[in-house]
Amino acid sequence: MSLALDAGSTPATLPAQRSRGYWSRVLRRLSRDPVTLACAAILLLILLAAVFAPLIAPADPFKGSMIKRLQPIGAEGFLLGTDELGRDMLTRLIYGGRQSLLMGVLPVVLAFGIGTSIGVIAGYVGGRVNMVIMRTLDVFYAFPSVLLAVAISGALGAGLNNCLLALTLVFVPQVTRVAESVTTQVRQLDYIEAARMSGAGPWMIVREQVLGNVLGPVFVYSTGLISVCMILASGLSFLGLGVKPPEPEWGLMLNTLRPAIFQNPLVAALPGAMIFITSICFNLLADGIRSAMDIRS
């Protein structure tokens, strides 16, 4: 009896419940997670500093002074010291966030778009199309990701664009595989069948019924890739395959400061510390988003 009463009262309470939809619940859970919030705040700070670098940086990132090379941390006029060409480290670290963040995030965003499209097509169409797509991607799975990135950017030559291309190619197969497996699962569910019976075309079904179920898991998976991508991207620059000097970029700065570890180890370690902080924040943020989006827990 009480069940029936409850059922009868739902239409009245529906507007109130709608405001507590899935996403607002996710947001509320995120706002109660101090670690995730702290990481988001640090990342936002680094991002803002990078975007507004010309306004806040104390010096010119390219202008150095030969007599003020490798000044220690806290030297007069140089809060974080100077690099091997006498350029202000703080300035270069702030500017370095631009390319480092771009190289860490953009390939994952591109791979998210491309991989989801390919994966949903492969999963929804199924059959021979699925087999051809997935077996082709298996070939890329036969390459360890660092090796694939190094090989592609090594073949294409150093430079930001080649590096972005190489990293995107590394992550597309991984995202595709997740998207494909989720789509294949969703496709067999009854409501897809129902939508098909009601006369919806494949494009309509993919857009209305499939994507909503696939995007979540793929998004969670992709956020976890950002930290990997940051480390890989800076690694490519560290090898001399990414951004070219004199651009400020954390991986490249780590590379050019390497000989200085004997004279001024603390300054030489700074760019790597920036990569570390950013990548650990992305990792913890991804973990936070994952557990906030997992309603079962």
Partner 1 sequence: MFAYIIKRLLYAVPIALAVTLVAFLLVHIAPGDALNAIAPADAPAETIAALKAAYGLDRPLPVQYGLWLGRALQGDLGASIASGRSVTSEVMVAVGNTLSLAGVAAVIGVLAGCVLGGIAGYRHGGWVDRIATFISVIGVSVPHYWLGLVLTIVFSISLGWLPAMGAGPEGGWFLDGAHLPYIVLPALTMAVVPMGILTRTVRAVVVDILAQDFVQALRAKGLGNRRIFRHVAKNAAPTVLAVAGLQLGYLMGGSILIETVFAWPGTGFLLNTAIFQRDLPLLQGTLLVLCLFFVLLNLLVDIAQPFIDPRMRRT
Contact partners, residue 73, CB within 8 Å, separation at least 6:
79, 80, 81, 266, 267
Q: How many CA atoms lie within 13 A of 139 on its CB side?
A: 6
- In the bound state with partner 1, the residue whose beta carbon lies nearer, of 14 and 155, is 155
Among 1, 4, 66, 142, binds partner 1 (CB under 8 A): 142
Q: Does 151 bind partner 1 (CB under 8 A)?
A: yes
126, 143, 211, 213: which one binds partner 1 (CB under 8 A): 143
Q: Is residue 227 a contact point for partner 1 (CB under 8 A)?
A: yes
Contact with partner 1 (CB under 8 A): which of 71, 168, 176, 234? 234
Which residue in the block uniquely carries the two structure tokens 């939809």?
A: 21
Q: Closest CB to partner 1 among 219 and 276?
A: 276
DSSP H helices, the chain, are: 2-18, 22-31, 34-51, 53-56, 89-125, 127-141, 145-156, 160-187, 190-197, 202-205, 211-239, 250-256, 265-293
Angle between helices 22-31 and 265-293 in degrees, nearest 10: 140
Task: List, in order, residues 6 or more apart from 67 with CB less than 8 Å away.
Answer: 86
Placement of tokens 């309603």 in the chain: 295
**Hey, which residues between 88 and 117 contact partner 1 (CB under 8 A)?**
none
Nearer to partner 1, 109 or 277 (CB): 277
* 245 lies in the binding site for partner 1 (CB under 8 A): no
Question: In the set 50, 108, 268, 292, which binds partner 1 (CB under 8 A)?
Answer: 268
**Does the protein bind partner 1 through residue 133 (CB under 8 A)?**
no
Q: Which C-beta is closer to partner 1: that of 125 or that of 269?
A: 269
Length of the chain, in residues: 297
Binder among 238, 248, 252, 285 for partner 1 (CB under 8 A): 238
Distances (CA, A) of 233 to 40, 43, 47: 21, 17, 17
CB-based contacts of 174, cutoff 8 Å, min separation 6 = 111, 115, 221, 225
- The number of angstroms, rounded, from the C-alpha of 71 to the middle of its chain's C-alpha atoms is 34
Closer by beta carbon to partner 1, 111 or else 253: 253
Task: Name the residue nearer to partner 1 (CB basis): 196 or 290.
Answer: 290
Task: Give yes or no for residue 240 binding partner 1 (CB under 8 A).
Answer: yes
Tell whether residue 231 is a contact of partner 1 (CB under 8 A).
yes
Return all residues near 284 (Cβ < 8 A) that are at least 6 apart. 35, 36, 39
Asked if residue 152 binds partner 1 (CB under 8 A), the reply is yes
Stretch that binds partner 1, among 18-26, 46-54, 142-150, 204-212 (CB under 8 A): 142-150
**Site residues (vs partner 1, CB under 8 A):** 135, 138-140, 142-148, 150-152, 154-157, 227-228, 231, 234-235, 238-241, 251, 254, 258, 261-262, 265, 268-269, 271-273, 275-276, 279-280, 282-284, 287
